[in-house]
Structure 1
Amino acid sequence: MKTKIYYLIAFVIVALAACTAQKGTSVHDQLDGRWHLTETLNDIGDGKGKYVAVTADSSYITFSKAGLVGGNAIYGATNYKLIDATHLALTIKGNTAPINYRYKVDGNDLELNAPCREACGLRFKRMK
């Protein structure tokens, strides 16, 4: 009898976990769409770099759930692959290996940071 109860409890826990996972939004869903470049960060190495608003409004990047990348904000980017919750690898034409970027999606805001010696970054707003 105890064994049956343990199996029942384990089944309920697994079923609840599966339902929770289905309700959550995947990172692919969060990244999916077109993003407008709004700010860039460049630092000469002294730690005093700040994000600066982009004056031209034509730079953008697109991500698809299938792992495709488009746009002109990161020249030559064609594909992406999620590495973990904070890193993605971008395949860029002409490079022999993908480049790992740190990323953060917060609602309609996206931040991408390339592996620069000094601080560098791109901030985007989701386009509707």
Structure 2
Amino acid sequence: MKKFIFYFFIFAICTACAKKNKSPLVGKWKLTHTLIDIGNGKATFEKSNQEKVIEFFADGTLKSNTSYCPLNTDISVGKSGTYNVDQTILIIPCASTASKINFELKDLTLIIDYPTQCMEPCKEKYTKIE
């Protein structure tokens, strides 16, 4: 009986220390589709052949293999930043200011919306790969 109580106690401690409430956003996401509206409101998502990957970490940070800063000549800037799940926003530090990018998580799809970077709707759709 003492062994049973001992093992139960060890099991309880191990499960209590397990990570809880991990955001479904955490992990690697690969760009699969893009949407760029030319102004007629009839744009649809088209397959993308770009190798764009963004990774979200549990501590609220993110990294990407490409820059999220528009019109930035330094391609090393804009590859990392932070995110806030509650506000559904990504914040990417760019050369002179931070780029604020909206996102939406639907089922197993991440949709990133660039409201301030395009005059017409432009979005990217990602699928989780890890």
TM-score, normalised via structure 2 length:
0.65
Uncovered stretches (5+) of structure 2, i.e. residues with no partner: 1-19, 69-77
Name the SS of the counterpart of 2:120 in structure 1: coil
1:31: Cα distance to partner? 1.2
Classify 1:71/1:43 alpha carbon distance in 2 versus 1 (closer, same or farther; 3 Å): same
- What one-letter code is carried by the residue in structure 1 that aligns with 2:119? R
- 1-side partners of 2:54 and 2:34: how far apart? 14
- 2-side partners of 1:88 and 1:41: how far apart? 19
Aligned residues: 101
Deviates more, 1:33-42 or 1:65-74: 65-74
Kindly indicate whether the alpha-carbon contact (under 8 Å) linking 2:90 and 2:103 is maintained by their aligned counterparts in 1.
no
Structure with the larger helix share: 1
Q: Tell me what 1:63 maps to.
A: 56
Aligned pairs (5 A) from 1:15-94: 25=21, 29-56=23-50, 58-75=51-68, 76-82=78-84, 84-85=86-87, 87-94=88-95
1:121: Cα distance to partner? 0.4
Kindly indicate whether the alpha-carbon contact (under 8 Å) linking 1:44 and 1:118 is maintained by their aligned counterparts in 2.
yes
Q: Deviations over 1:2-52 (max 9, x none)?
A: xxxxxxxxxxxxxxxxxxxxx7x46xx121110010000101111111110
- 2-side partners of 1:83 and 1:67: how far apart? 8
Kindly indicate whether the alpha-carbon contact (under 8 Å) linking 1:78 and 1:91 is maintained by their aligned counterparts in 2.
yes
Q: Deviations over 1:95-125 (max 9, x none)?
A: 41x2222211123211110113201001000
- 1-side partners of 2:86 and 2:53: how far apart? 23
Classify 1:83/1:64 alpha carbon distance in 2 versus 1 (closer, same or farther; 3 Å): closer
1:73: Cα distance to partner? 4.7
Classify 1:61/1:95 alpha carbon distance in 2 versus 1 (closer, same or farther; 3 Å): farther
Kindly indicate whether the alpha-carbon contact (under 8 Å) linking 2:64 and 2:80 is maintained by their aligned counterparts in 1.
no
Kindly indicate whether the alpha-carbon contact (under 8 Å) linking 1:43 and 1:118 is maintained by their aligned counterparts in 2.
yes
Uncovered stretches (5+) of structure 1, i.e. residues with no partner: 1-22
